[in-house]
Amino acid sequence: MASENKRLRIAITGGGLAGATLINALMKYPHIDVHIYKSAPEFSERGTAVGLAKNSQNALDEIGPSVKDALVAAGAVSMNSTRGAIASGPNAGKIIFDLVADVPPQGVHRAAFLKQLLAPVPREVMHNNKKLVKVEDAADGSIVLFFKDGSKEYADLLVGADGVHGYVREHILGADHPALQPTFAGFWDCRALVPFSKAKEVLGEECFKEHRRYVWSGDGGMFMHDVLDNGKMVQCVASKVTDEDWDPKEWKRDLDRETLENAFASWTNSPIVKNMIEVKLNDHQLLLQNPELQAFAQWDHHINAPTFYRGRVCVIGDSAHAMTPYHGAGAGQAIEDVMILETLLGEVKEPSQLDAAVKAYDEVRRPRVQRVVQSSNSTGRIMCGKGPDVGLDVDKLRAALGPRWAFLHEFDQKEHKFRALASFRGD
């Protein structure tokens, strides 16, 4: 049966950024006993970097100094601006926009951020090799977690942060629900981290006069590069629109120079392709600095789920709302999830109040993030030169892309918390 002490037992499944941010945030509450369970042998993150814009940083401020300090300790770099430019065709080289935010976005390496978020977490509440296979309701209202190794644990609330193909979403929606599985979004991407000096040598001094994110839009794809790790490394990314179908179990494919060159073969007059994948002299091509370069399929929850909770089980992050990267919002929306959930759980003193807490979380978060999912997919197609009636026309791109981030970044997090608390209290 559940623990007899008075502390609320919160279980988190999934050891990525969403779960790590939540456990870090909840440790400040003396009335909460929180544990995190990871199916893999160690806590780790896939991918190179995340960008945290104004809305995400405001959410971090609302959560408290522990998570904000982790961002700084992880070597986050302020991006002074974002430059969009045409990368193929007759307009190649022309600037679409130079965006300067009032709060500069922060770029940070995923693994470094995860490490810092977990640094203060006691080892005894972190559990590896714990693959969740079943969840049941106990007679006393608690949750029973069954793991593949035959063990089980009890909790008053289970929070699924177990990723796009995790189990908890299935428990909530059911195995046959049309919104259960993510949809292949129609893009793949590949990434490489290269030393700052190497990137500067290949891309040119002009790109690094300031810490700026570059987005290069071309025929059915885009390249991006930005600075990480206190200015020591540069993330290089290629994304491609594709008509191919990817099997739901096929997350990645190996890439080589020939495949990359073929993917961007239609890019004429390009100022970026040769530096990213074609320059052979002295092994200068940037993406091929990654000896294990792979194409990762992009998935999103394009079919909206009707709920993010069932009983005392809820989902956050990619488990709730997987999205494409074109708004740079996946990690930021997970942080917003944490901000709302930890605010509500801070008010919960008795297990009976958890039902109202997860209902309020769902009520305020689901409409917000599902709008971001849909908008990110459309934004990606525009950025990759496939926007309807937009293409690679500079003026049309500027008009189409310019306003697409306002609803995301100019968002009042204090008001968001107020609405969640009002719902929880029945105001």
pLDDT value of position 1: 39
Rounded to whole angstroms, the Cα distance separating 204 from 284 reads 12
pLDDT value of position 151: 97
395 within a domain of the structure (yes/no): no
The domain of 45 spans 8-75+110-182+301-385
Q: What is the DSSP code string of 50-117?
A: EEE-HHHHHHHHHH-HHHHHHHHHTT-EE--EEEEEE-SSTTTT-EEEEE--SS--EEEEHHHHHHHH
pLDDT value of position 277: 86
* DSSP 8-state secondary structure symbol assigned to residue 40: S
Residue 294: which region, alpha, beta or left (left: phi > 0; alpha: psi -120 to 50)? beta
Q: Reply yes or no on whether the pLDDT at 184 is more than 60.
A: yes
Crossing angle of helices 413-425 and 54-63, in 10° steps, is 50
Rounded to whole angstroms, the Cα distance separating 188 from 63 reads 33
pLDDT value of position 45: 60
Rounded to whole angstroms, the Cα distance separating 145 from 138 reads 10
pLDDT value of position 245: 86
Please enumerate in sequence order all residues whose Cβ is within 8 A of that of 315, keeping only pairs 6 or more positions apart, or say none: 159, 160, 161, 166, 168, 169, 172, 308, 309
pLDDT value of position 3: 43
Please state, for a pLDDT cut of 70, what percent of the chain lies above it.
Answer: 96
315 within a domain of the structure (yes/no): yes
What integer is the mean pLDDT of 213-220? Answer: 96
What integer is the mean pLDDT of 189-198? Answer: 92
What integer is the mean pLDDT of 40-62? Answer: 84
Q: Reply yes or no on whether the pLDDT at 407 is more than 90.
A: yes
Q: Reply yes or no on whether the pLDDT at 302 is more than 80.
A: yes
Backbone angles phi, psi at 190, to 5 degrees: -135, 155
Rounded to whole angstroms, the Cα distance separating 236 from 115 reads 22
How many structural domains compose the chain?
1
Q: For the domain that residue 339 is a member of, what is the CATH number?
A: 3.50.50.60
pLDDT value of position 282: 52
Look at the alpha carbons of 384, 270, 223, 52 in this order and tell me if their dihedral is positive or negative: negative
Closest Cα to residue 137, out of 151, 122, 119, 157? 157
33 within a domain of the structure (yes/no): yes
Question: Which token pair is 403?
Answer: 């306003």
Q: Reply yes or no on whether the pLDDT at 358 is more than 80.
A: yes
What integer is the mean pLDDT of 266-289? Answer: 79
118 within a domain of the structure (yes/no): yes
424 within a domain of the structure (yes/no): no
Strand 8-13 vs strand 32-37: parallel, antiparallel, or unpaired?
parallel
Closest Cα to residue 38, out of 163, 171, 131, 134? 131
pLDDT, mean over the chain = 93
308 within a domain of the structure (yes/no): yes
pLDDT tens per residue, range 255-265: 988 899 999 99
Rounded to whole angstroms, the Cα distance separating 150 from 166 reads 19
What integer is the mean pLDDT of 86-115? Answer: 93
Q: Who wins on pLDDT, 58 or 45? A: 58
Q: Answer for the pair 247, 236: CB distance below 8 angstroms, yes or no.
A: no
Q: Answer for the pair 70, 116: CB distance below 8 angstroms, yes or no.
A: yes
pLDDT value of position 46: 60
281 within a domain of the structure (yes/no): no
Backbone angles phi, psi at 167, to 5 degrees: -80, -35
Closest Cα to residue 37, out of 110, 108, 121, 109? 121
Cβ burial of 291 (10 Å; 0-12, 13-18, 19+) is exposed
Rounded to whole angstroms, the Cα distance separating 336 from 344 reads 13
154 within a domain of the structure (yes/no): yes
